Amino acid sequence: MNLSTGIVGLPNVGKSTLFNAITNSTVEAANYPFATIEPNVGIVNVPDKRMKVLTSMIEPDSVVYTTFKFVDIAGLVKGASKGEGLGNKFLQNIREVDSICHVVRCFDNDDITHVHNSVDPIRDVEVINLELILADLDVLNNRIEKIAKKAQSGNKESIKEKEICDRLINHLTNNKLANTLGLTEEEKLIIKSYNLLTLKPMLYVANIDENDITTYESNKHYQALKNLVGEKNIIALSVKIEYEISQLDEASKEEFIKELNLSSSGLDKLIFSSYKLLNLSTFFTYGKKEVRAWTFVNGMFAPECAGIIHTDFQRGFIKAEIIKYDDLVALKSEQAVKDAGKLKLAGKDYIMQDGDICNFKFNV
């Protein structure tokens, strides 16, 4: 299950530097618009302290982390929905990701140009959101034109679809993102093929000054952004510092993070937040040959999760042997867990939980 988030923002806000830090790759990060023309794609391991604990317990031959995909998308400018700058390319690239990571400049530095010649996070967010809204309105209006006759003739499916479109248009026209309308899962399924930009989950990254990493709450730009988007949808980090951390070896990283009085790197928080934004969790397979983390969507049943490993596992699913991570760590071995009566035999109706250690039984 390889889901993705697109890193977006105005030109020169730190997108490509952030992407370089996340993926440890080198993408041109220039001090002028459109340094990124084609999207750059990077696959990263999802940080999980539980993996280190599990591997230390059994010392497997192989360790495989679950992964998450980040896409660095070209900087957006006002008028992109009408083709300005690299607008059409930008909007098409962003339609292909599952969520949006919106980088917003929240630091003052006269040496780094701003496309609007001043630092104003609210304006910057509104510029990008407006372009996304306008692009979605075009999609919705075009769709209504196609289904209007069917709806007028009494076709129930078309009537329902048009009603959803009308609500969305009214919502977007009031400068509100589609993901705040509160559509039901059934309604989202009806319009899934539209691939609306503003329906995607969005996380805002406040790119703060390196001197503000432990005091960012007092940063006026961060506060303005937080007041606009809400505390749950924002993460603060210094892209410059995170890039420096990404260039170090593991031991030096840990030492540097401690020197900065941080509990973990901002990148780890960003990767984890992006993972959770899509309602994702992790289950494990555990053995001497391999310890591996697997991504699943919260609410998935055991057979569906088995299918993530291999379709045969789902097709011939019999049961799953489930050990809770905390039980294995506390009791030290699988046998001790079994002896304590804490091994669970789960059937087809078992909903997988984050941290479950699984052994799937199947027959095909």
Binding-site members for ATP are: 12-17
Q: In angstroms, rounded to a whole number, what is the distance separating the alpha carbons of residues 200 and 98?
A: 6
* Nearest CA among 171, 75, 162 for reference residue 127: 75
Is residue 267 a contact partner of residue 21, using CB atoms and an 8 Å limit? yes
CA distances in angstroms from 3 to 82, 97, 210, 235, listed in the order given: 29, 8, 30, 20
* Nearest CA among 39, 41, 18, 38 for reference residue 29: 18
- Residues comprising the binding site? 12-17
Is residue 357 a contact partner of residue 284, using CB atoms and an 8 Å limit? yes
> In terms of residues, how long is the chain?
364
Q: In angstroms, rounded to a whole number, what is the distance separating the alpha carbons of residues 142 and 145?
A: 5
Which neighbouring-strand residues pair with 69?
4, 43
Is residue 364 a contact partner of residue 312, using CB atoms and an 8 Å limit? yes
Biggest CA-to-CA distance, the chain: 69
